[in-house]
Amino acid sequence: MGLCTVLIWHGAMALPANAQTVTAIPSGAPDLPLAVLKALHQAQVPPSALSIVITPLPAADASGKPAEAQPPRLSHRPQTASNPASVMKLFTTYAGLSLLGPDHVWHNRVYADGPVLGGVLQGNLIVRGSGDPKLVMERLQDLLGQVVAAGVREVQGDIVLDRSVFDVRERSEPFDDEPLRPYNVAPDGLLLNFKAVVYKFTPDAASGQVQVRFEPPLAGMDAPTQLPASTAPCNDWRSQLKADFSQPLQVRFSGSYPKRCGEREWPVAYPEPEHYAPRVMQAMWLAAGGRLTGQVRYGLHPASARLLVDAPSLPLAEVIQDINKFSNNVMAQQLFLTLSSELGAPGRFEASRLRLLQWWRKALPGQEEPVLDNGSGLSRTERSTAASLTALLQAAHASPHAQAFVKSLSQAGIDGTTARLKERNPQSPVIGNAWLKTGSLRDVVSVAGYVQGQSGQRYTVVAIVNHPNGNQARPALDQLLEWAVRDQNKPGQTSASSQRQRQ
pLDDT at residue number 318: 98
Q: Mark out the alpha helices in 44-195 (DSSP H runs).
A: 89-100, 137-149
For residue 61, is it within any domain? no
413: domain range?
3-56+69-102+317-499
Strand order in the sheet with 50-56: 74-76, 50-56, 458-466, 444-452, 434-441, 410-411
Q: Note whether 50 and 40 are within 8 A (CB).
A: yes
Residues 327 and 449 both lie in one domain: yes
Model confidence over 48-101: pLDDT tens digits? Answer: 999 999 999 997 655 656 567 789 999 999 999 999 999 999 999 999 999 999
Domain endpoint, select from 314, 339, 367? 314
Q: Please name every residue paired with 198 in a beta bridge, in sequence order, or none if there are none.
A: 215, 267
Number of domains in the chain: 2
Examine the domain organization and report whether 486 and 380 are in the same domain: yes
Is residue 416 in some structural domain?
A: yes
Distance between CA atoms of residues 500 and 494, nearest Å: 11
Q: Which of 380, 342, 369 is nearest to 334 (CA)?
A: 342
Look at residue 1 in the predicted model and tell me its pLDDT: 34
pLDDT tens-place string over residues 423-452: 999 999 999 999 999 999 999 999 999 999
Q: Is residue 189 part of a domain?
A: yes
Query: What is the distance between the alpha carbons of residues 53 and 61, in angstroms, rounded to a whole number?
Result: 24
Given a cut of 50, is residue 230 above it in pLDDT? yes
Indicate the DSSP class of residue 374.
S
CATH number at residue 162: 3.50.80.20
- The reply to whether 439 falls in a domain is yes
At 260 the three-state DSSP class reads helix
* The one-letter amino acid at 225: T
Query: Do 241 and 288 have their domain in common?
Result: yes
The pLDDT-based confidence of 489 (bands split at 50, 70, 90) is low
293 lies in the same domain as 418: no
Confidence of residue 219 (pLDDT cuts 50, 70, 90): very high
Cα distance between the two ends of the chain: 14
Q: Is the pLDDT of residue 257 over 70?
A: yes
pLDDT, mean over the chain = 90
Taking CA atoms, 34 is separated from 116, 156, 163, 493, in Å, by 73, 72, 53, 21
Confidence of residue 183 (pLDDT cuts 50, 70, 90): confident
* 118 φ/ψ sector (left φ>0, alpha ψ -120 to 50, else beta): left
308, 323: one domain: no
- Going by the DSSP 8-state scheme, the letter that residue 187 receives in this structure is P
- 274 & 387 share domain: no
SS3 label, residue 417: helix
pLDDT for position 31: 84
**294, 314, 334 - which closes a domain:** 314
Q: Taking 90 as the threshold, does the pLDDT of residue 365 lie above it?
A: yes
The per-residue pLDDT for 2 is 37
287 and 370 share a domain? no
The residues facing 22 across adjacent strands are: 4
State whether 156 and 233 are in the same domain. Answer: yes
- At which of 251, 283, 314 does a domain end? 314
Same domain, 357 and 303: no
